[in-house]
Amino acid sequence: MKRRHKWAIVALVLLALAGLLGGGIYYIAHVQEALWTKAVTDILEVTAQGRHALDTYMEKDAETLHLLAADLSGEDPADGATLLKKVRLFSESGTSYICVVLDTGTVYTDRQQTGYVLSQEQLDTFLALAESGVRRPFLDGYTGVWTLGNYERFTFADGTVGLVQKTRPLAEVAQRFSLSFYDDTGFSYVVDREGDILIRSLHKNSNRTFQNLFDIVDLQGNESGAVETFRAALGNGKKGVARFQYQEQEYVFCYVPLESVPGWDVISIVPNQVIMEQAGEIIEQSQILLLLVAAGVLVLTAFFLFYRYSTRRIVAAKEEARRAAESASVAKSRFLSNMSHDIRTPMNAIIGMTKLAADQADQPDKVRQYLKNIDLSGRMLVGLINDILDMSRIESGKMVLSETDTSLEELLTGIVKMVQPMVTEKKQQFEVRLLQVQHETLCFDALRLNQVLINLLSNAVKFTPAGGAITVEVAEQPAVKEGCARLVFRVADTGIGMKADFREHLFDTFSREQDSRVDKIEGSGLGMAITKMIVDLMGGEITVQSQPDRGSTFTVELDMRLPGRQLPAEDPLPPMRVLLADDDAATRQSAAAFLRELGAAADIADSGQAAVEMAVAAHGRKADYDLIILDWKMAGLSGIEAVRGIRERIPAEVPVVIFSAYDWAQIEAEAVAAGANGFIQKPIFRSTLYHCLRQYVLRQEPSAPVGGDTADLSGRRILLAEDNAFNQEIAREILQEVGAQVETVDDGRACVERFAQMPAGYFDLILMDIHMPVMDGHEAARQIRRMRRADAVTIPIFAMTADAFAEDIEAAKAAGMNCHIAKPLDIPVMLREMQRYLPR
């Protein structure tokens, strides 16, 4: 019995050991596979990040090239000097730009002083290129260097087809974007769908012998099915991992398609042996542990428990780490994408308006308007940047409203001008309507409301196909709160709409509808969440109505406080008759009501043809209108066509004005040629019509733009400490324009020494930058305050710095400074503060 029991125990132990051994082998294999999978996932993620960096790099080149193409499209292709000049303006270190007139074969490049004619073979190369894209690497005939280039076709002013190309050395691209792995045993390559290697690492250890990936895998005895699967994955633009033999060694291929260049992929090739070496120590320790546990049942039990515990812990830790990494990566990418969207919108307006101002420098009125729009967009941009930098507010959800008396007319006009380029590009219909708006000046946070409306409008443009319609309505309703007016903003579009189940999550963070219609439309999923947060903070409400393929309507309702100050009364206008034509009933009624409030007798027409007939009939009665206002886009007879019809039978003494939500620059030449006297921008407020009547009927000059530099600092001496020459020049010019005498120094020590050299009372004020060499602004202010002289304590010292957070203001005060002026300078605020400290 004992013997039988003994053998039973032995059998049990052997069975336990066999189970232990089997479990141990399974455990080692599982850990090894998990470590391999984690390593390969990391390689694939790094490859995707490298792909994203290369995509961003190429997209930036494409954007620059598009700006050059847009700039050249308005030129005469025969004007070689101008083409060469514009090409050189875009020249930058390490790149080359060319412009090719495809009809003549003439090329202009920043490397030559004059244009020259391409050979037929060279011209055929450019003619074969599509509308835009990236060329395969080619040998530059001028430099003898392998080159990578972006290109874009465009049309000159006379209809001639041109092409611009931006190139940079292939070695520079490879140096910047090639990835290496595991002490340079693995590298990344850029290949096309046929497997040809286009960009390879320049590192000496990188394999430079093969030219095509399939030449590697086809000749090494790899399974044909696996090779064909890999080939199909590249051909279909898939992302994934494959393993192949090469020179009796197994390699891992991680491939990710480029988004900016269809048909190209980034591939990382790493020896599998190197990857597995990372797991060698863990595997060896597991084997030792297995041998020790095999010595006895107790160790076997302990190992079994350890195996269960460690396996679960490893899997849970891996899953938690994976989810955390994915969440952080998605949050960061979407946040940056949203901020890029918000920043690019005013930046696009700044760039566009700057070009318009340069092109029309001989027309001061227009230049002033362009500069005003640049200022509005710049202020919005500064506000956005401040929010991005102030991460504590974003992370904690804290945001403080800055409510001031603001012109609703200026806000909406600025928004319209910012949206115009996007609407024009997609050839969409754009209309802005006012419905019973009685208060033009209200107290609200202009930056936040601007952000809300720009977000809604940019989404409407983005999700509305070309030729669609976008409408903005602004209505005023009685407010429940005393001393307020309720403003209702509606942004409607005829776009793709939304499904009902998605509308419930529209305002959730990172929410984005999963739909093939929006897969290729950029978006972070943060925009609507931020919009909802701002509307809630302003005490308002936002709702949405939407149906798939029928468009969306967003409604924002806000109670805005009436202005705290009494607005100046308008000068009364003499009796006058006005004819207004618009095919939009709401606009007609609103504008006619405003005209009647101003004391004008208003006749309205619902079409261009009706306006012509009414104007001609009035002329026949010898009772001409004092002013005729025509909408540009009307069904049937357009506004410009109506102007021509009126001018054929009515003398030029009767002023005719065009109004539209579109840019005046698009129609100015045609409108003026037809006989129009001027233009007013929609939306049409009461003040818009008031100034229009004064300008075109009473022949009074339009009011000069309101500036903030009305201060008088004549005879005041100001010491400016600033190490940046451009900032010195800006501040000096501004102060000299208002009469101040300005002395400049380049650092804090020089400021202290100059102040000490001059007698007490010589300087009236010190403007002090904070970050300067030799001595910073804080220390300079402290040393001045410690001087034993009468004016050391009393002279006003202003901090003039880009450090704009609350703690920076407190630091300036602690150093003895009286005032903190943030850069970029708000000129009206700076001059107002100076006058407060330097009273007459």
**Does the pLDDT of residue 766 top 90, yes or no?**
yes
Give the per-residue pLDDT at 183.
80
DSSP annotation of 562 reads P
Give me the torsion for CA of 412, 413, 414, 419, rounded to 10°.
90
SS3 category, 755: helix
DSSP H helices in 390-499: 391-396, 408-425, 446-462
- Of the pLDDT bands very low, low, confident and very high (cuts 50, 70, 90), residue 521 is very low
Q: Do domains 576-696 and 717-837 have the same CATH topology?
A: yes
DSSP H helices in 513-663: 527-537, 585-597, 608-620, 639-647
Q: What is the mean pLDDT of residues 325-345?
A: 58
Q: Which residues have CB under 8 Å from 327's CB, separation 6+?
A: none
- Regarding the domain with residue range 576-696, which homologous superfamily does it belong to in the CATH classification? Response regulator (3.40.50.2300)
Measured CA to CA, the distance from residue 640 to residue 761 in angstroms comes to 64
CATH of domain 73-173: 3.30.450.20
Closest among 97, 84, 72, 81 to 160, alpha carbons compared: 72
Rg of the chain over Cα atoms, rounded to whole angstroms, equals 35
Give me the torsion for CA of 17, 21, 26, 28, rounded to 10°.
130
Q: Which residue has the higher pLDDT, 394 or 401?
A: 401
Measured CA to CA, the distance from residue 417 to residue 414 in angstroms comes to 5
Closest among 235, 252, 133, 111 to 185, alpha carbons compared: 252
- Of the pLDDT bands very low, low, confident and very high (cuts 50, 70, 90), residue 639 is confident
The dihedrals phi and psi of 136, each to the nearest 5 degrees, come to -65, 150
Burial of 563 (0-12, 13-18, 19+ CB in 10 A): middle
SS3 category, 477: strand
Measured CA to CA, the distance from residue 651 to residue 665 in angstroms comes to 25
- Of the pLDDT bands very low, low, confident and very high (cuts 50, 70, 90), residue 394 is very low
What's the whole-number average pLDDT of the chain?
81
**Does the pLDDT of residue 335 top 60, yes or no?**
no
Contact 77, 101 (CB under 8 A): yes
Q: Which fold has domain 717-837?
A: Rossmann fold (3.40.50)
As a 3-state breakdown, the chain gives helix, strand, coil percent values, each rounded to 5, of 45, 20, 30
Contact 801, 776 (CB under 8 A): no
Contact 434, 476 (CB under 8 A): no
Give the domain ranges of the chain: 73-173, 346-543, 576-696, 717-837
Closest among 471, 366, 384 to 423, alpha carbons compared: 471
Q: How many CB atoms lie within 10 A of CB 26?
A: 11
Q: Which residue has the higher pLDDT, 788 or 315?
A: 788
Q: What is the mean pLDDT of residues 172-182?
A: 81
Measured CA to CA, the distance from residue 661 to residue 383 in angstroms comes to 26
Predicted TM-score (pTM) of the model is: 0.45
CA-angle at 35, arms to 32 and 39, nearest 5°: 140
- Regarding the domain with residue range 346-543, which homologous superfamily does it belong to in the CATH classification? Histidine kinase-like ATPase, C-terminal domain (3.30.565.10)
717-721 vs 765-768, strand pairing mode: parallel
DSSP string, 105-143: TEEEETTSSS-EEPPHHHHHHHHT--SEEEPPPEE-TTT
Least-confidence region, from 222-226, 779-783, 798-802:
222-226
DSSP annotation of 563 reads P
What are the tokens at 166?
A: 């931006």
Q: What is the mean pLDDT of residues 600-611?
A: 89
For the ranges 61-75, 176-190, 268-282, the one whose mean pLDDT is highest: 61-75
Residue at 366: amino acid letter: K
Q: Which residue has the higher pLDDT, 45 or 378?
A: 45
What are the tokens at 538?
A: 């302003």
Burial of 241 (0-12, 13-18, 19+ CB in 10 A): middle
Give me the torsion for CA of 684, 690, 692, 695, rounded to 10°.
-160
Give the per-residue pLDDT at 524.
40
For the ranges 311-325, 658-672, 766-780, the one whose mean pLDDT is highest: 766-780
